[in-house]
């Protein structure tokens, strides 16, 4: 997550940790109670509009301690985390159902609830967990709050860190990113590279979930809800689909930003807020949901990777990027499927190529000068599945 723009980034450093066998069950029990308490707290805070620390404390503190058996400090951490979750859910215009924590977990306030020492994490309450492996490059920066999760049989500790933002270089050109349903097209007036989206792969799991759900639902009552095993399988398929999109977005954004960095290009992307809002108005079906999710996650990870790597990022207005001639500005006409032609200057290109060239042009204008020259470096090493058309007018 990117927090603040004044020269610092908040990163989460993840590490696998392992509790001592004698205390493992007790810790897991606490984390399970914490999860239930957190879900209860988020709901209560939203229903009662209690988003300040004082209100949350009065509303929840006793219940969290008595009903969920949380120690005092843990109860405080719990409503703190619940406030953060409730606020971010309320601030999200496209919010769906109430957020729910699935995995057993616990939130840990820096210095009060945990500390890291000699290869161990010590938690309030006497738990000691051995650190199995972590990324040491951020060790010089102080630890912030942390979250311990239990997932797929493993304890994972995520520690947040404030690290200085790397300075951005002066770009020698632009790498434009255009998205459509099937592809992410990346390039500029000389080069083009396409990435497949993960929508079809993820859709497969959505369909499996749906099939299962249909099979076990009856008109009068949801029988599938009563069968814990079935319900679990359905929710596994849904999370699998989500995870496919998230992994894809992370990996693709990483490749795009690494490519830009190697060539000292700025990354330019369209502002997709309008597009996403328009897509949202369409009938809710799985495929559209996955497309929207892909766009939003890719946007998020591209921006994040750019900040982390010191790559300049430029966001341009999407208006007209796939209908205007990037050479002379005339309105393009459709020749055959997805191929466009300019009636004035004769340019002929694929719709995606046109979009990439227009995004590049808009970004260059925003950067306040023309940076591209015919001698710009060739990106021959980066287009294994290049399928763009040559762009000679
Ligand atoms: Zn033209």
pLDDT-based confidence at 378, cuts 50/70/90? very low
Separation of 189 CA from ligand 1 center, angstroms?
A: 14
pLDDT-based confidence at 316, cuts 50/70/90? very high
Query: Is pLDDT above 90 for 212?
Result: no
User: In the prediction, which pLDDT does 223 show?
Assistant: 58
Separation of 344 CA from ligand 1 center, angstroms?
A: 5
Separation of 378 CA from ligand 1 center, angstroms?
A: 25
Separation of 227 CA from ligand 1 center, angstroms?
A: 62
pLDDT-based confidence at 21, cuts 50/70/90? very high
Separation of 115 CA from ligand 1 center, angstroms?
A: 63
Separation of 181 CA from ligand 1 center, angstroms?
A: 26
User: In the prediction, which pLDDT does 218 show?
Assistant: 63
Average pLDDT over residues 83-104: 87
User: In the prediction, which pLDDT does 224 show?
Assistant: 54
Range in 71-85, 121-135, 198-212, 221-235 with the lowest mean pLDDT: 221-235
Separation of 327 CA from ligand 1 center, angstroms?
A: 5
Q: Quote the tokens at residue 343.
A: 């009636």
* Most confident among 125-134, 210-219, 253-262 (mean pLDDT): 253-262
Separation of 355 CA from ligand 1 center, angstroms?
A: 13
pLDDT-based confidence at 388, cuts 50/70/90? very low
Separation of 324 CA from ligand 1 center, angstroms?
A: 8
User: In the prediction, which pLDDT does 377 show?
Assistant: 38
Separation of 312 CA from ligand 1 center, angstroms?
A: 29
User: Cα(346)–Cα(332) distance, rounded to whole angstroms?
Assistant: 10
Residue identified by tokens 């709901």 is: 43
Separation of 75 CA from ligand 1 center, angstroms?
A: 65
Separation of 328 CA from ligand 1 center, angstroms?
A: 4
Separation of 297 CA from ligand 1 center, angstroms?
A: 34
pLDDT-based confidence at 226, cuts 50/70/90? low
pLDDT-based confidence at 46, cuts 50/70/90? very high
User: In the prediction, which pLDDT does 221 show?
Assistant: 56
Query: Is pLDDT above 60 for 255?
Result: yes
Separation of 333 CA from ligand 1 center, angstroms?
A: 10
Separation of 63 CA from ligand 1 center, angstroms?
A: 68
Separation of 358 CA from ligand 1 center, angstroms?
A: 12
Separation of 363 CA from ligand 1 center, angstroms?
A: 19
Q: Which of 358, 357, 359, 324 is nearest to 343 (CA)?
A: 324
Separation of 162 CA from ligand 1 center, angstroms?
A: 48
What is the SS3 assignment for 300? helix
Separation of 393 CA from ligand 1 center, angstroms?
A: 9
Query: Is pLDDT above 80 for 389?
Result: no
User: In the prediction, which pLDDT does 298 show?
Assistant: 95
User: In the prediction, which pLDDT does 96 show?
Assistant: 75
Separation of 317 CA from ligand 1 center, angstroms?
A: 20
Average pLDDT over residues 303-327: 92
Separation of 319 CA from ligand 1 center, angstroms?
A: 17
Q: What percent of the chain has pLDDT over 90?
A: 56
User: In the prediction, which pLDDT does 181 show?
Assistant: 76
pLDDT in tens, 149-189: 999 899 999 999 888 888 899 999 999 999 887 789 999 98
- The mean of the pLDDT values for the chain is 86
User: Cα(366)–Cα(386) distance, rounded to whole angstroms?
Assistant: 28
Give the angle 229-23-32 at the CA atoms, nearest 5°: 35
Separation of 256 CA from ligand 1 center, angstroms?
A: 28
Separation of 341 CA from ligand 1 center, angstroms?
A: 8
Separation of 331 CA from ligand 1 center, angstroms?
A: 8
Separation of 374 CA from ligand 1 center, angstroms?
A: 19
Average pLDDT over residues 317-321: 88
Average pLDDT over residues 57-79: 95
Of 122 and 275, which is predicted with more confidence?
122
Going by C-beta distance under 8 Å and a sequence separation of 6 or more, which residues neighbour residue 107?
Answer: 34, 38, 77, 78, 80, 81, 113, 145, 146, 147
Q: What percent of the chain has pLDDT over 70?
A: 89
User: Cα(227)–Cα(380) distance, rounded to whole angstroms?
Assistant: 55
Half-sphere exposure of 137 (CA within 13 A, CB side): 3
């Amino acid at each position: 997550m990117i927090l603040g723009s004044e020269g610092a980034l908040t990163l989460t450093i993840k590490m696998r940790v392992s509790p001592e066998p004698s205390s493992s069950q007790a810790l897991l029990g606490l984390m399970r109670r914490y999860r239930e308490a957190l879900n209860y707290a988020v709901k209560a805070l939203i229903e009662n509009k209690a988003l300040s620390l004082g209100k949350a404390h009065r509303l929840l503190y006793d219940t969290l301690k008595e009903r969920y058996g949380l120690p005092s400090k843990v109860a405080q951490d719990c409503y703190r985390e619940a406030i953060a979750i409730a606020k971010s859910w309320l601030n999200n215009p496209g919010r769906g159902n109430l957020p729910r924590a699935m995995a057993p977990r616990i939130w840990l306030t820096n210095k009060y609830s945990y500390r890291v020492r000699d290869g161990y994490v010590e938690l309030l309450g006497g738990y000691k967990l051995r650190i199995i492996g972590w990324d040491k490059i951020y060790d010089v920066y102080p630890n912030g709050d942390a979250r311990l999760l239990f997932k797929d049989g493993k304890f994972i500790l995520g520690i947040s860190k404030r690290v200085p933002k790397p300075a951005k270089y002066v770009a020698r050109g632009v790498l434009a990113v255009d998205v459509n349903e099937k592809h992410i097209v990346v390039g500029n007036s000389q080069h083009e590279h396409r990435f497949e989206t993960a929508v079809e792969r993820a859709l497969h799991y959505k369909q499996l979930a749906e099939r299962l759900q249909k099979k076990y639902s009856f008109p009068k009552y949801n029988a599938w809800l009563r069968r814990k095993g079935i319900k679990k399988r359905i929710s596994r398929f849904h999370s699998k689909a989500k995870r496919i999109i998230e992994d894809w977005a992370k990996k693709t954004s990483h490749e795009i930003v690494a490519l830009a960095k190697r060539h000292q290009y700025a990354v330019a992307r369209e502002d997709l807020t309008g597009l996403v809002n328009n897509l949202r108005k369409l009938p809710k079906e799985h495929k559209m949901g996955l497309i929207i999710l892909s766009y939003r996650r890719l946007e998020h990870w591209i921006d994040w990777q750019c900040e982390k790597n010191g790559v300049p990022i430029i966001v341009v207005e999407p208006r007209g990027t796939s209908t205007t001639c990037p050479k002379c500005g005339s309105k393009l006409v459709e020749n055959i499927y997805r191929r466009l032609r300019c009636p004035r200057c004769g340019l002929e290109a694929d719709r995606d190529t046109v979009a990439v060239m227009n995004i590049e042009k808009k970004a260059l204008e925003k950067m306040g000068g023309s940076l591209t020259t015919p001698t710009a470096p060739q990106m021959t090493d980066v287009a294994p599945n290049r399928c763009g058309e040559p762009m000679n007018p």
